[in-house]
Amino acid sequence: MTQKIDLRSDTVTLPTPQMREAMAHAELGDDVYGEDPTVNRLEEMAAAKTNKEAALFVASGTMANLVALLTHCGRGDEVIVGDKAHTFVNEVGGMAALGGIQPRTLPNQPDGTLALDDIRAAIRGDNVHWPRTRLITLENTHNNCYGSPLAPAYIWSVYDLANSRGVKVHTDGARIFNAAVALGVPMAELTRHTDTISFCLSKGLSAPVGSLLCGSRNFIAEARRNRKMVGGGMRQAGVLAAAGIVALETMINRLADDHANARYLAESIADIPGIDLDPARVRTNIVFFDLQTDAPNAAEIEQRLARAGVLISASGERRMRAVTHYGIARADVDATIDAIKSAVSRHD
Ligand SMILES: Cc1ncc(COP(=O)(O)O)c(C=O)c1O
């Protein structure tokens, strides 16, 4: 079987040979007792990378955000969140179902930000009728907003506003390393002005499983209880953490290649008749493009591309999303460009 070019997500990445090697030889213990040396090492590395006091290894990005929200908020509390945010759109309503937390959605701007005036107006005062605004969540990079990175100055302005109103900030940093690489800033610049941050090992960094939640020592101690509550105590999790350590040691700088491939893909397909796409919006590894009304719809293009061995997801009636990642070389992008040209132009 010929290998498919799979651009559905950076979550399809497979572990590197070095990761498999590290997993096979990882030193292990029971992590619920705090005795897995490999997990402990990964958590220390994550805390150091994000410049926070402590970190917690969890099963997924969804669990990292859920545990963060459960730790920040009580039942009936309100979270300010973007209407395109992963935590709001794609996490099965976990904050409401499991935490009794009420999302207060604000429109995400095209660059993934929330307008400061909107946030200011949404933070509630003290009134016996109202829920308490506990938390603002940001997403960096913003998946549904073209993988846009949020810049340090913006993050600071949200944090400053939140502080002045006694509200905390959590960042869903599933792809925070993509943001750091794209903006050319040290990670600490992106994590300094958020109380807590989650990031994923299993997306562009190519580890098979796992995310980290980072914050103050007290916060992480409480989060550890909440991780246990949602069934996330993982025992000899060092077999997974070992791959995560390799991910942090070897897979960050190469994200620049994914960004260059995404930009190249965007620039090469932007002029195809029937496609709407502004390549300048592609700043990291996510390319959205829209199909004009005289072109086939996204479901049809998805099928045509799949028949040509290229997997790209329809993410709306006329919208498609392609994500570049480890394992996708420039030649694969060239083949993808040809496949898209032919899929959009054929009228069958
Ligand atoms: C921005 C963002 N946050 C969180 C997640 C959730 O990660 P996981 O699939 O590991 O639960 C994703 C997954 O794609 C994501 O894109």
* One pLDDT digit (tens) per residue for the chain, 348 residues: 468 999 999 999 999 999 999 999 999 999 999 999 999 999 999 999 999 999 999 999 999 999 999 999 999 999 999 999 999 999 999 999 999 999 999 999 999 999 999 999 999 999 999 999 999 999 999 999 999 999 999 999 999 999 999 999 999 999 999 999 999 999 999 999 999 999 999 999 999 999 999 999 999 999 999 999 999 999 999 999 999 999 999 999 999 999 999 999 999 999 999 999 999 999 999 999 999 999 999 999 999 999 999 999 999 999 999 999 999 999 999 999 999 999 998 665
Structure tokens belonging to residue 178: 């993509």
Ligand 1 pocket, residue 143 CB under 6 Å: yes
Determine the atom of ligand 1 nearest the C-alpha atom of 211: 10
CB atoms within 10 A of CB 268: 17
Determine the atom of ligand 1 nearest the C-alpha atom of 200: 10
Q: How far does the centroid of ligand 1 lie from the alpha carbon of residue 97, in Å?
A: 18
Please tell me the predicted confidence (pLDDT) of residue 235.
97
Concatenated DSSP letters of 14-52: PPPHHHHHHHHT-----GGGT--HHHHHHHHHHHHHHT-
Over its C-alpha atoms, the chain yields an Rg (Å, rounded) of: 21
Query: Longest Cα pair distance anywhere in the chain, in angstroms?
Result: 64
Q: How far does the centroid of ligand 1 lie from the alpha carbon of residue 91, in Å?
A: 8
Ligand 1 pocket, residue 62 CB under 6 Å: yes
CB atoms within 10 A of CB 330: 12
Q: How far apart are CA 305 and CA 344, in angstroms?
A: 9
* Per-position b or e across 135-170, b if 16+ CB within 10 A of its CB: bbbbbbbbbbbbbbbbbbebbeebbebbeeeebbbb
Please tell me the predicted confidence (pLDDT) of residue 3.
84
CB atoms within 10 A of CB 335: 15
Q: How far does the centroid of ligand 1 lie from the alpha carbon of residue 293, in Å?
A: 31
Please tell me the predicted confidence (pLDDT) of residue 238.
98
Please tell me the predicted confidence (pLDDT) of residue 347.
63
Q: How far apart are CA 172 and CA 272, in angstroms?
A: 34
Task: Write phi, then psi, for 58 (nearest 5 degrees).
Answer: -130, 170
Ligand 1 pocket, residue 227 CB under 6 Å: no
Nearest 5°: the CA angle 167, 224, 92 is: 70
Q: How far apart are CA 206 and CA 204, in angstroms?
A: 5
> Which of 143, 196, 200 gets mutated to test ligand 1 (max ligand atoms within 8 A of its CB)?
200
> Which of 9, 62, 170, 240 gets mutated to test ligand 1 (max ligand atoms within 8 A of its CB)?
62
CB atoms within 10 A of CB 229: 12
Decide if 199 contacts 211 (C-beta within 8 A): yes
Please tell me the predicted confidence (pLDDT) of residue 175.
98
Please tell me the predicted confidence (pLDDT) of residue 348.
59
* Per-position b or e across 173-206, b if 16+ CB within 10 A of its CB: bbbbbbbbbbbeeebebbbebbbbbbbbbbbbbb
- pTM assigned to the model: 0.97
Beta bridge partners of 54: 215
Q: Whose CA is nearest to atom 13 of ligand 1?
A: 61
In the block, residue with structure tokens 């989650």: 198
